[in-house]
Structure 1
Amino acid sequence: ILILFPTSFSILILFPAMVVVNSTPCSVTCGLGVKEERLCEVSPAGERQNCSLVRSRCLSHWICGLRHLSVPEGNPIRLTCLSPDAASLEGPNFGYTWRFAHGLITTNDLLFHPFHNPNPSLNFSPALESHSGTYRCDVQVLSSFQLVKRIYFGLRVIPRDLVDLDFQKSLTWEQQLAANGEEPPGNASGAAEQERWRNPWEKQWIYEAVLGVGSGVILGILFSLGFCCLGRMCRNRAAREMNRL
């Protein structure tokens, strides 16, 4: 930094600068998240000193799309628009605007109506069937009204007497094997497993092939015998006709 004095000479004073030497990726792929940065003082000679870790906010794409949620009626559920970590860091304050499309799973903004809730999260305890629909949350910087996040929550509240949401019961046999870390037989990679499931089909194919060949041989023999008998009868008849003459 060059500092000029009113006299005829000048003095060059160099101060170490704080520089970000390393940074983690943003904690989210959309909206407002958190990242850690390593700050160091860098001297004019390029030496690093007095390093420290600092957590700061980071902004990715502001549109987060639609998130599908299902919950049995009577259970509590919370819709969180902004993570507590991002909201608690120093920086500008945020405002939250919620809107609701009752009974619909949609991202068409024309179908939403205002839903009064100034908080970053929305709690239903218990969740009722009338709560089903899509909730849209906008996060804005209060000082500039900059939109930093928009997310949609498609909520389905399912009556308990209508469907059983037991995860294990809803899985097929192959899905249960995969959930337990086992390989379904149809996708087994071991040669022995593949051979065990392939043998019945091979045996059936061999049996059908042998049956077809055997049937063909028998039919061929029968046709040959028939032609031989027919030829012999024709020759005998011709001999009798010649004797009569």
Structure 2
Amino acid sequence: ILGILLGAFYLPLVVSFEKVTIPAELKSAVAKVAVNATSCSVTCGLGFKLEEMCEVTPSGERRNCTLRRSDCLTSWVCGFLHFTVPVGKPFQFSCLTVDAVGFGSQAYGYTWRLAQGLITTNDVLFKPFKNPHSVVRFSPTRESDAGTYRCDVQMLKTFRIIKRVYFGVRVIQNDLVDLNFQKSLTWEQKLAATKEEGNTENSTHEEVQEQQHFWQGELFYECLVGVGSGVIGGVLVSTAL
């Protein structure tokens, strides 16, 4: 009985679909669709992509193709960024990328929160930080500025959060560590780095002087060891006699 009822309902549908005719205007209609697109310009937050828009005919022909830039959002969580800043130095960071600026910075709202003195992503530890702008500036940087800053970027029209990023700021004393990496390298390390870059022929006069000082120091050390060994040997021989 159930099969008979299904057949009874199905038969009119088949008959009705067979009677449908497509108008000639619809058969010749041209649709403009995206036939190709690039990946999003950023991995998190609001970015943009380029789409190739073409008119597609019923026969599948593409014509009058143009490029269109449109916004895209892959993920709104952007992770953690770490910074180490010496006391007294000016410093700034922004939660708005260059890509997002192109859409108009007036379209976004910013909510900042701070976990002072802590490097963390635990949202319970954050307190409101008054800053209506996308940039936080320290001029100069103080020890009390250390901590984790969380920025939420929100679309003003839809109130949708499109980005969340954490900035971990460590503030150190100027005499605590020398941040000049090149200055802390030994002569051998500088030479190895120069060889890797393929600039051995362009060695500076300073590097040559460092090499001379190095070998002079090695020669002095070897002479000192030789003289010391001779003196000790003479003392031992005289004692034995």
TM range (shorter): 0.5 to 0.7
Partner Cα distance (1:127, 1:92) in 2: 28
1:177 deviates by 5.7
Partner Cα distance (2:100, 2:119) in 1: 28
The 1:16/1:122 distance shift into structure 2, 3 A limit, reads farther
Deviations 1:48-85 (A, max 9, x none): 22222222221112111111111222333221212132
1:124 deviates by 2.1
1:151 deviates by 0.5
Pairing partner for 1:114 from 121, 128, 132: 128
The 5-angstrom pairing of residues 81-160 of structure 1 reads: 81-89=95-103, 93-160=107-174
1:93 deviates by 2.6
Is this contact kept in 2: 1:56–1:89, CA < 8 A?
Answer: no
Pairing partner for 1:64 from 47, 71, 78: 78
The 1:67/1:20 distance shift into structure 2, 3 A limit, reads same
Q: What SS does structure 2 have at the residue aligned with 1:28?
A: coil
Indicate whether 1:55 and 2:79 are aligned: no
Partner Cα distance (2:141, 2:178) in 1: 16
Letter in 1 for 2:177: V
Q: What SS does structure 1 have at the residue aligned with 2:196?
A: coil
Which of structures 1 and 2 has the bigger CA Rg?
A: 1
Q: What SS does structure 2 have at the residue aligned with 1:168?
A: helix
Indicate whether 1:12 and 2:28 are aligned: no
Q: Which runs of 5+ in 2 are unaligned?
A: 1-22, 198-241
Partner Cα distance (1:114, 1:85) in 2: 27
Q: What SS does structure 2 have at the residue aligned with 1:74?
A: coil
Pairing partner for 1:40 from 34, 43, 54: 54
1:41 deviates by 1.9
1:172 deviates by 6.9
Is this contact kept in 2: 1:72–1:165, CA < 8 A?
Answer: no
Q: What SS does structure 2 have at the residue aligned with 1:58?
A: strand
Higher helix fraction (1 or 2) = 2
Letter in 1 for 2:141: A
Letter in 1 for 2:83: L
Letter in 2 for 1:29: T
Task: Tell me the equivalent position of 1:233.
Answer: none
Deviations 1:116-147 (A, max 9, x none): 11222222233222211110001122233222
Q: What SS does structure 2 have at the residue aligned with 1:180?
A: helix
TM-score by length of 1: 0.62
Letter in 2 for 1:12: E
1:178 deviates by 6.0
Aligned length: 175
Q: What SS does structure 2 have at the residue aligned with 1:12?
A: helix
Deviations 1:188-222 (A, max 9, x none): xxxxxxxxxxxxxxxxxxxxxxxxxxxxxxxxxxx
RMSD over aligned Cα, in angstroms?
2.8
1:27 deviates by 1.6
Letter in 2 for 1:159: Q
Partner Cα distance (1:178, 1:19) in 2: 55
Segment drifting more, 21-30 vs 163-172? 163-172
Partner Cα distance (2:157, 2:188) in 1: 54
Q: What SS does structure 2 have at the residue aligned with 1:182?
A: helix
Q: Which runs of 5+ in 1 are unaligned?
A: 1-9, 184-245
